[in-house]
Amino acid sequence: MQHRENHHKKHDLKNMTLDEIELFISGLGKEKYRAKQIMKWLYRSGITSFNEMSDLSKAFRAEIESIARISSLMIEETQKSVDGTKKILFRLEDGNVIESVLIREKNHWTLCVSTQVGCQMGCRFCLTGKYGFKRNLLPSEIVDQVTISRFNTPEGNDIKNIVMMGMGEPLANYENTVKAIKIITNDAGMGFSKRKITVSTCGIAPMIEQLGKDTSVNLAVSLNAPDNDTRGYLMPINRLYSIERLIAACKSFPMPQRRRITFEYILIDGINDSDGDAERLANLMNGVRCKFNLIPFNEFPGSEFKTPSDARIDAFRKILIKHKYTAVTRASKGRDILAACGQLRGTKENTR
């Protein structure tokens, strides 16, 4: 127990940005450029021990190991869907579990990562929230989902996009999410382009505005209704920040080049999928540079909602297209392993 306590008093290098590692090793009287060497080992080589940092002297490695550590998540289980989607169950150091999803695209893979253990937003259509909220993930735990997926899965080299759409609400864990983005996009780290990272939110309007000031990643907003009554019924966050407030925040979000905000709209039979809903949605978004991802509701055991018919989904999409919007119906991937949107729950089934 004593060893474990000492272990956790050490500074975790994976919770640090490049600037913070520079500051940390400057305090040891070391040259700043060493920080980039350390970052490259952590994120380009995926090493898990100081001994492997072969371009640092043995004395320096021993010194840094006495006060710092390299945390790591453990892959507990991987499930594969019939459509190729993979769900990875990670065990955290405190025993909690989270899930990430590898989604096959045409010629690359997208990794969907979690930002919290559970979720406290309470959206009615989402299974994650039904398991309650445990805690925020640390920057290291967000970043490590990417690092470990890159170095420990066959798909690793082909992960080109990262979407923060797994368990939890990224903007409710704002500082840690932004720090993770800085580490993932740093040239000495993983070197991901900000254009390849998407943060998805249920609509915490002030934090959307803040995100636009702090970074230039893509924004996806879970909308799911064109009016406050329906959205408030589906998503409690709407009682805090109305649709009008949310759209104002989206309009202020800076979007370079030809980028657009993605509005995710989960179509639920008889709740938000009528022709009238589609018309109201089209009018509501007038003047917002956006596109729509239509997601047929993914039923899960005990869910109160149903998936609309294909004809209904198609009619809804055609109305948005008639109004000159880009609208895609997103094929739900990984439904058979509860890996589709709104189905992640971070629990391990007892299979015995």
pLDDT digits (tens, 9 = 90+) for 94-124: 999 999 999 998 899 999 999 999 999 988 8
- Whole-number Cα distances in Å, 196 to 109, 157, 173, 250: 12, 15, 20, 19
In the chain, where are the structural domains located? 2-69, 74-337
- Residue 119 annotated to the active site: no
3-state secondary structure of 237: helix
* Separation between Cα atoms, residue 11 and residue 236, nearest integer Å: 38
pLDDT at 143: 97
Q: 3-state DSSP helix/strand/coil percent for the chain, to nearest 5?
A: 40, 20, 40
Give the CA angle between residues 188, 220, 281 to the nearest 5°.
165
Out of 99, 141, 169, 299, the active site residue is: 99
Name the stretches of the chain with pLDDT < 70: 1-8, 331-352
pTM listed for this prediction: 0.92
- Answer yes or no: are the C-beta atoms of 100 and 144 closer than 8 Å: no
* Separation between Cα atoms, residue 191 and residue 142, nearest integer Å: 16
3-state secondary structure of 21: helix
- Residue 77 annotated to the active site: no
Distance of CA 99 to the CA centre of its chain: 10
Dig out the tokens for 30 from the structure: 């070391």
CATH tag for 74-337 (out of 3.30.1460.30, 1.10.3720.10, 3.20.20.70, 3.40.50.1010) = 3.20.20.70
Give the CA angle between residues 291, 127, 89 to the nearest 5°.
95
pLDDT at 349: 42
Find the farthest-apart pair of alpha carbons in the chain and give their distance in angstroms, rounded.
Answer: 70
277, 280, 285, 286: CA torsion to nearest 10: 150
Q: Matching CATH topology for 2-69 and 74-337?
A: no
| Residues in Cβ contact with 215 at an 8 Å cutoff, skipping those fewer than 6 apart | 178, 181, 182, 194
Out of 126, 250, 290, 341, the active site residue is: 341
CATH tag for 2-69 (out of 1.10.150.530, 3.30.428.10, 2.60.200.20, 1.10.357.10) = 1.10.150.530
pLDDT at 304: 87
Q: How many CB atoms lie within 10 A of CB 322?
A: 12
pLDDT at 332: 61
Dig out the tokens for 302 from the structure: 């005990």
